[in-house]
């Protein structure tokens, strides 16, 4: 039986939609528009939509146990209160001026893991992957990245996946949830530009890694051994990240930089969804 095609559920026109995160408590999907600096919330059952405007770019975020949201501005992390819209400083990350915070998620250790992207013209691998503790302490875990992306953890919490969209590659590490230590780095998959460079990702409970194929309009599914086993066609050229929500997969997207493509794909930048049989590994909450 053919897989159902992803359908547009919110024509939100994100410059770059990212970080879709399912909140089981409110049965809502949160996601952000990076260049627009907006945090969005979508309730699938009612179709309800809410947006909050932040003062800077919004690279990624984490839902917190308190109900607040840890948000990544260009090079700083802030706590955002959804009710009062108050922003409180939490941590600062020193990076070259061309770099900004990008893909981030809460790991099995309860810490927020976030990488940086070099948006400068030099293309140097000056990005890093950081681990941010609930106390606000920040430590560098991986260096030499161009565009940190694709964070995901296995269902047992023992393996961490991470990609560099401009590598382009996907690596994995042994992960210690008790200490946050990573070890035994190894190549999970090399991904060509023609297959779709590895952008945001999610892992299902069977160990399949679902990766947005940047520029090629696909979601790539990789088996636990790194084999590419399926390419799911998207109705837009730039899918950015998938997220599991029960029996659905939500997918954020970006508006193409090319004007001709923008005219050809008017729904680019929207939020898409499709039914799936797989179940995703839940994303944790940050203990603020």
Active site residues: 199
98 Cβ neighbours under 8 A, 6+ residues apart:
118, 119, 120, 122, 126
Q: What does the block give as tokens for 267? A: 């729904």
Residues 257 and 34: their CA atoms lie apart, in Å, by: 14
What is the residue whose two structure tokens read 């049989």?
277
User: What's the N-to-C CA distance of the chain in angstroms?
Assistant: 45
Q: Are 106 and 112 in contact, with CB atoms under 8 Å apart?
A: yes
Q: Are 253 and 236 in contact, with CB atoms under 8 Å apart?
A: yes
Q: Which residues pair with 254 in a beta bridge?
A: 16
Helices (H), strands (E): how many in the chain? 1, 24
Residues 22 and 42: their CA atoms lie apart, in Å, by: 10
Residues 139, 144, 146, 149: is their CA dihedral positive or negative? Answer: negative
58 Cβ neighbours under 8 A, 6+ residues apart:
32, 33, 34, 36, 37, 38, 39, 71, 72, 73
């Amino acid at each position: 039986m053919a897989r159902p095609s992803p359908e547009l559920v919110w024509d939100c026109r994100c410059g770059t939609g990212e970080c879709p995160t399912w909140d089981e408590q409110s049965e809502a999907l949160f996601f952000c528009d990076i260049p627009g600096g907006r945090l969005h919330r979508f309730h699938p059952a009612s179709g309800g939509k809410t947006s909050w405007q932040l003062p800077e770019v919004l690279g990624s975020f984490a839902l917190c146990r308190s109900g607040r949201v840890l948000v990544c501005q260009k090079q700083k992390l802030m706590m955002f209160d959804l009710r009062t819209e108050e922003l409180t400083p939490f941590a600062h990350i020193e990076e070259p001026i061309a770099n900004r915070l990008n893909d981030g998620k809460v790991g099995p250790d309860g810490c927020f893991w976030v990488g940086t992207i070099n948006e400068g013209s030099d293309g140097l691998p000056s990005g890093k992957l950081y681990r941010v503790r609930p106390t606000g302490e920040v430590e560098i875990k991986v260096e030499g990245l161009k565009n940190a992306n694709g964070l995901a953890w296995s269902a047992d919490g023992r393996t961490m996946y991470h990609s560099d969209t401009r590598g382009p590659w996907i690596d994995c590490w042994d992960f210690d949830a008790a200490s946050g230590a990573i070890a035994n780095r190894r190549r999970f998959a090399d991904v060509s530009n023609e297959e779709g460079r590895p952008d945001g990702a999610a892992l299902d409970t069977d160990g399949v890694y679902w990766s947005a194929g940047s520029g090629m309009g696909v979601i790539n599914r990789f088996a636990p051994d790194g084999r590419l086993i399926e390419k799911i066609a998207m109705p837009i050229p730039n899918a950015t990240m998938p997220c599991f929500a029960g029996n659905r997969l939500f997918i954020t997207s970006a508006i193409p930089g090319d004007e001709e493509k923008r005219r050809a794909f008017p729904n680019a930048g929207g939020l898409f969804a499709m039914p799936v049989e797989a179940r995703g590994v839940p994303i944790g909450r940050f203990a603020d």
